Amino acid sequence: MGVDSHANGTLNLALQLLAPRQPAVALGFHGALAAAVLASSQKSLTRAGVVHAALLGIALYTSFGAQGWLLGVIFLVVGSRLTKLRYAQKLAEGIAQSRGGARGPENVWGAGGAAALCAALHLFPALPPAQPALELAFVCAVCSKLSDTCGSEIGKAYGRSTYLITTLSPVPRGTEGAVSLEGTFAGIMGSAALAAIAAGLGVIPFEQLPFAIFAAFLATTAESVIGAALQNEMRLSNEAVNFLMTLIGAVLGIGGWYALYAV
């Protein structure tokens, strides 16, 4: 009994140290993490990208706790791995991400800016939207981005036929606004997997999982339409389009929560 009590006490202490809204713990943890990544040879992030990813991680950790931070790490790591899938082939076709797939600050905030906005708003529980709505919005935002990365990178690597979403006319792989069967399926599976992890970690309840997947599908579809119809005309960068897509996912999450629970 004494051993069990000691173990429970240790576990409770660890959970307190990993509790949300502990900026000092988060800052120290991410400082060590940034140093470790800088010393590594993985090259998933540029040096500046490591610093900005650490700042994003601090925001997620402070607002959503260790569970939200872990979800953000999974989303960034899986996205980086997918970028390097068949990289030589994509490089030869001129559709590979620059810098050998290493992400810089613009990539970090294009992918995670909406999540950071959810985290910032989550710090003010007296203001709308409700905190549970922001938690669903955060999950919808990261699921949208991972779905987009799965769709684009799998589509560029394995897509047999790609079509422009606005006209359904055949286009080369890597064309802005292009979709493929392989990429679309991979995107749905990617968002489903990340939403399931979010529910398993307790960031959202399991009953919200289908909505997160659906919101990600709608957001990535909107991103394809923006890419096909507006990106070149309005001179939008890929990072700006990514931010708009994840913001759409987050807004859908907030709207979905209020539709589910506040009506």
When comparing pLDDT for 41 and 232, which is higher?
Answer: 232
Q: How far is CA 5 from CA 11, 13, 14, 145, in A?
A: 10, 12, 14, 43
When comparing pLDDT for 218 and 236, which is higher?
Answer: 218
How many whole angstroms separate alpha carbon 187 and alpha carbon 154? 8
pLDDT of the residue at 91: 76
Lowest mean pLDDT among 14-23, 55-64, 119-128, 161-170: 14-23
pLDDT tens-digit readout, 33-60: 665 565 454 577 788 888 888 888 888 9
- Looking at every residue in the chain, the average pLDDT score rounds to 84
Tell whether the model's pLDDT for residue 13 goes beyond 70: no
| pTM score, whole prediction | 0.84
pLDDT tens-digit readout, 70-97: 898 888 888 888 887 777 777 777 766 6
Angular region, 173: left φ>0, alpha ψ -120 to 50, beta rest: beta
pLDDT tens-digit readout, 161-207: 889 998 889 998 878 888 999 999 999 999 999 999 999 999 999 99
Q: List beta partners, residue 163.
A: 170, 179
Tell whether the model's pLDDT for residue 20 goes beyond 60: no
Q: Are 87 and 30 in contact (CB under 8 A)?
A: no
pLDDT band for 7, please (50, 70, 90 cuts): low
Strands (E), 82-241: 162-164, 178-180
pLDDT of the residue at 254: 97
Tell whether the model's pLDDT for residue 235 goes beyond 60: yes
pLDDT band for 17, please (50, 70, 90 cuts): very low
pLDDT of the residue at 39: 45
